[in-house]
């Protein structure tokens, strides 16, 4: 049996605070709409998972935090695409008033900070 396969690049996974995704910005759109538009226009698609996704962590000052999230997944074939995703996530972090966003790129975890 012949199997057709198309490599798509590195997997990028990131978490956004689920409740903040529905907040309407000054432009009249939600963060959820802006995420959808960015990935459809620039990458041709993405996946999102919602449900019981939550996390606990300590911030840099030692305070405990808790958040409920939606997980987004997209693939990037080039370093330019990866950089565009990083810049977009940093922008969304600022818009959502988040200090940083947890991101996994090709199996490597990092935090992307708002500018």
Kindly state the DSSP code that residue 72 receives in the 8-state scheme. E
pLDDT in single tens digits along all 115 residues of the chain: 999 998 899 999 999 999 999 988 877 899 999 999 999 999 999 999 988 999 998 877 888 988 899 999 999 999 999 999 999 999 999 999 999 999 999 999 999 999 9
Give the Cα separation of 85 and 82 in Å (integer): 5
Whether 30 is in a domain gets the answer yes
What total number of domains does the chain contain? 1
Whether 100 is in a domain gets the answer yes
User: Which range marks the domain in which residue 27 is found?
Assistant: 10-113
Whether 1 is in a domain gets the answer no
What CATH number is attached to the domain comprising 39?
3.30.70.120
Residue 107 tokens read as 């199996």
Whether 98 is in a domain gets the answer yes
Whether 69 is in a domain gets the answer yes
User: Model-level pTM?
Assistant: 0.90
Whether 3 is in a domain gets the answer no
Whether 27 is in a domain gets the answer yes
């Amino acid at each position: 049996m012949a199997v057709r396969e198309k490599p798509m690049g590195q997997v990028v996974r990131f978490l956004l605070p689920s409740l903040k995704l529905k907040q309407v910005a000054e432009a009249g759109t939600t963060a959820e709409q802006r995420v959808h538009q960015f990935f459809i226009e620039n990458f041709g698609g993405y996946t999102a998972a919602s449900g019981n996704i939550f996390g606990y962590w300590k911030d840099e000052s030692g305070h405990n935090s808790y958040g409920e999230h939606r997980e987004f997944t997209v693939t990037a074939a080039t370093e330019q695409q990866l950089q565009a995703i990083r810049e977009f996530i940093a922008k969304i972090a600022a818009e959502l008033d988040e200090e940083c966003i947890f991101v996994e790129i090709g199996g490597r975890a990092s935090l992307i900070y708002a500018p």
